[in-house]
Amino acid sequence: MKKIPVGISSCLLGQPVRYDGGHKRDSYIAGTLAQYFDFQTFCPEVAIGMGTPRPTIQLVKIDKEIHCVGVKNPDIDVTGQLRDYANQQKPAYADLCGYILKKGSPSCGMERVKVYLNNRPQKMGTGIYAEEMMRNNPLLPVEEEGRLGDPRLRENFIQRVYVLHRWKQLMAEGLTPSGLTCFHARHKLIIMSHESYIDLGQLLASVTKVNVNEVASSYIAQLMKTLKKVASRKNHVNVLQHIQGYLKKELNADDKAELCEAIERYRQGEVPLIVPLTLLKHHFRKNPNPYIQDSYYMSPYPQELNLINEL
């Protein structure tokens, strides 16, 4: 499969663009994820001409507005330049299916960046460039490298990247009411693991050739918002039991008992999600079902990523 284009802070891939001339190479990103993602690197501080090495900058609240200024020389204010750079990069963002930002950066931090007020820091800000970039790309899955260490946040981010990638493929193929309905059907169980899919289904009930673009725009905005909520164990159990229902006539009593036990052990937190999923896949190989076979829930991304092993 062709690698998926994902934006990233340059320092996370080992590029020596930090203020001190160093980098923050992340081994998981540069090693594992680089096998599946085609990383497009961005370093706004270098791009606006600050150079490497360079004076350090910080976020400061001035007259109710947050500025990005020099630590030693507060007369250096690069707020406007960082926003301008983010706006200039809109064409480069068009093909991206995700973005990984540098934690804590006054230019690239996604959240909880230190903002100084009366020389006192509060972790309440967002990097100036990151804020503008996210405003320009509301559908784009965005995460920080530090948060990718959390198995649930990591899985959630990567799942959203793959969903958006499939959406962009759908758009490239040419949008039709039937194509949109099929896309929803294949993602319905994934949606169910995050939240109810009823609202999205009702939205699609009104789709026609005339309004397909309008409905699609509302659909993907609501879908990406829904998927941003991390799937709960309770919701996964509901999905697993729902899928189990498609096997009620095919399994004997012992197989049903074994499957119920695997789902219950997952519910209790004794085994990871991969255990009941593997058992379900085994039974569906013997008893194929077109709906389950087409659903992305069973295989939302390459299994080599091992994302569900820790869920």
Please give the average per-residue pLDDT across 216-245, as a whole number: 97
Residue that terminates a domain, selected from 97, 114, 149: 149
Same domain, 39 and 144: yes
| pLDDT at position 1 over 80 | no
Please give the average per-residue pLDDT across 54-77, as a whole number: 95
Residue that terminates a domain, selected from 90, 124, 149: 149
Give the residue from 85, 90, 88, 79 showing the smallest Cα distance to 137.
Answer: 90
Same domain, 14 and 139: yes
pTM for the whole thing? 0.96
| pLDDT at position 232 over 90 | yes
Same domain, 126 and 199: no
Same domain, 107 and 216: no
Same domain, 272 and 167: yes
> Can you tell me whether residue 5 is helix, strand or coil?
strand
Residue that terminates a domain, selected from 81, 115, 149: 149
Same domain, 290 and 184: yes
Same domain, 245 and 221: yes
Count of CA atoms in the C-beta half-sphere (13 A) of 247: 27
CA distance 16 to 10: 8
Same domain, 138 and 176: no
Work out how many domains the chain is built from and give that number: 2
The range of the structural domain enclosing residue 212 comes to: 159-311
| pLDDT at position 100 over 80 | yes
